[in-house]
Structure 1
Amino acid sequence: MADEAELREQLIDAFEDADYPVSSPMDLVPALPNGPGTKFESGDFSMTAMELNTKASGDFPYENVDSLVDDLIAELNEQGEL
């Protein structure tokens, strides 16, 4: 089982340096340490940024990292990924 707090921290670390506001997933790519291949892992959860983009629809634009990560975590929970 994934540790939501650990995953949240990883997502914040990966996306916090994006140039906010962001209007699309492509605006986030430059902030990622390994580009779209950046991997987020916790417990039995493992997903790259590219896979995450296909799972989460996102409600762009995002004004800050916290609102982005809140939506990502909520969508992953809704889809039973966490």
Structure 2
Amino acid sequence: MKNDKDSSLNNQILSAESQAARLDIIASTIVIFGESLATIAAVLALEEEEQRRVNSNNDLETIKKQLDYLTYEMKQIKKRLR
């Protein structure tokens, strides 16, 4: 009888440890998934920032071309007025 109780207690302890191990694996999987999402979000943020820089450089180049054109036009007007 004592052996049956000991055996039953041992089985319950092993079952509890097994459940704890399963929960640990599930929790670890969720953490890894969360970290993966955070990494993807960081990569997307970096890509967006890079795109903003490219757009900003394009805007600056457009403004430079406009200024060059206006400078040229002003020189042409000055020549005509002389």
TM tier relative to shorter chain: under 0.3
Output the TM-score relative to the length of structure 1: 0.22
Output the TM-score relative to the length of structure 2: 0.22
Structure with greater proportional strand content:
1
Structure with greater proportional helix content:
2
